[in-house]
Amino acid sequence: MDKTAESSQQLTDKDEYFPRPFVSLPTLFWAYFQVGLTAFGMAIIEKVKKLVMTRHWLNEEEMTDGLAMVQLYPGPLMVDFSAYVGYILRGMPGAILATLGFILPSFILMLGLSALYFASGNIPWIHILFLGLEALVVGVILNVTLDMGGRALKGRVEAAIGLIAFAGLLFKVNAVWVVLAALAFGALFIRQSAVGSKPASRSTALDLPSSPIRRWIGIGTAFIVVLGVVALAWSLHSEVGKLGLSMFKIGSVAFGNGSTILPLIQSEVVDLHGWLNMNQFADGIALGQITPGPYLITSAFVGYKMGGILGALLATFAIFSPSFVMTLVFTEIYARIRNLAWVRGALAGVLASFVGMLAVVVLQLGSVALITPATIVMAGGAFLAVKIFKIDLVWVFLGGLLLWGGALAVGLV
């Protein structure tokens, strides 16, 4: 290509990047609050992408980079992507308000549902009603496990990691150690197979608000705040404090979305500490599914059980804040690390381990939820609804709950 043609091509590429509009902080918060209030399940991804693109907050390449970036470190993907968008638009205040707006509606709803659940837990028909929800959870998580297995278990190494993770969690090895081992194993042995993504065409740094020094000071301040809350949780010397530390640990090492992080939560709150029994854990998952916003709001359910509203606040902050800080750091350095083979290999190893651990979750949830022919039918129906008919999860749960309630009313269950 001659210099004239090259210059023309550069101009064309440059024209693809429209001027970024000014977005006020109240506008940013309210936009994400609306998404957090109305988006369920996989629809969250499409709602967030539509929000960003239709308002021209990011161009397509920045959005693609952001969605790729949030997969390279622990934390819930769409919460971290929301922080990424807010950080690009308005720096640290924007990241905080976008994340808060996204999480707040589901947090408030989960508080109300948790209060009702634990207040009515001794009513027999409530237990039977939630048994139907637990069966639906088994069917949905089974579908997630199979789908994720098809994507993550691409070769013998990945399959071996998944099998080892399955055995490790089945025999009560701490899930955090399983994840860390899978991360190291993947970085060492899946390098070549993990490098297949096309490098982004833009190599320049993002156009971020404020100076680099001010941004890094803000990141350092956020990190200190998180460490301060960790210290506070440790100083409580109580079960609520231990819950906060467990959620910080999970938020620091768990990759993927809410479904893939479930095995770590189960390992901590059910197997290791016994804060919830398996039925309560399944019910918390179900409530997380029928509320809008991020799936990991189930952490508020656990926190409420342990310490009321303050326990829910601590657990929610603990599970989301580590990856919030990581999002800020990775936004600054992503252009330098996105194509490193060992980084993508480590991610491939971790995702393979989650397939094995999710299989254990399915087995253990099934052992307590699928105790009658009716519950087996409910689980099978939920699986077919999402696998074959692609029905949105919120309708699977609401429709299934109505069917189960009707059957309960006429004495069929």
What is the per-residue pLDDT across 12-54, written as a single tens digit (0 to 9) for each?
344 444 567 889 999 999 999 999 988 776 667 778 888 888 8
Contacts 24+ apart (CB under 8 A), 406-410: 407/374, 408/125, 408/128, 408/129, 408/132
Q: From first to last of its 413 residues, what are the pLDDT tens digits of the chain?
A: 443 444 334 433 444 445 678 899 999 999 999 999 887 766 677 788 888 888 989 888 888 888 878 888 888 888 999 999 999 999 999 999 999 999 999 999 999 999 999 998 666 667 788 888 889 888 988 988 998 888 889 889 999 999 999 999 888 888 888 888 998 998 898 864 434 444 444 444 567 777 889 999 999 999 999 999 999 999 999 999 999 999 999 999 887 666 778 888 999 999 999 999 998 998 998 888 888 888 889 999 999 999 999 999 999 999 999 999 999 999 998 877 777 788 788 888 888 888 898 898 899 889 888 989 999 999 999 999 989 998 887 788 888 888 988 888 887 77
Whether the CB-CB separation of 20 and 57 falls below 8 Å is answered with yes
Structure-block tokens of residue 260: 């893939």
Tell me the pTM.
0.82
* Alpha carbon distance 364, 381 (integer Å): 19
* Alpha carbon distance 124, 358 (integer Å): 30
- CA torsion sign for 350, 355, 360, 366 is positive
Exposure class string for 382-409: b at 16+ Cβ within 10 A, else e: bbebbeeeeeebbebbeebbeebeebbe
* Alpha carbon distance 219, 326 (integer Å): 9
Cα distances from 2 to residues 8, 16, 375, in angstroms, run 10, 22, 69
Mean pLDDT (the chain) is: 85
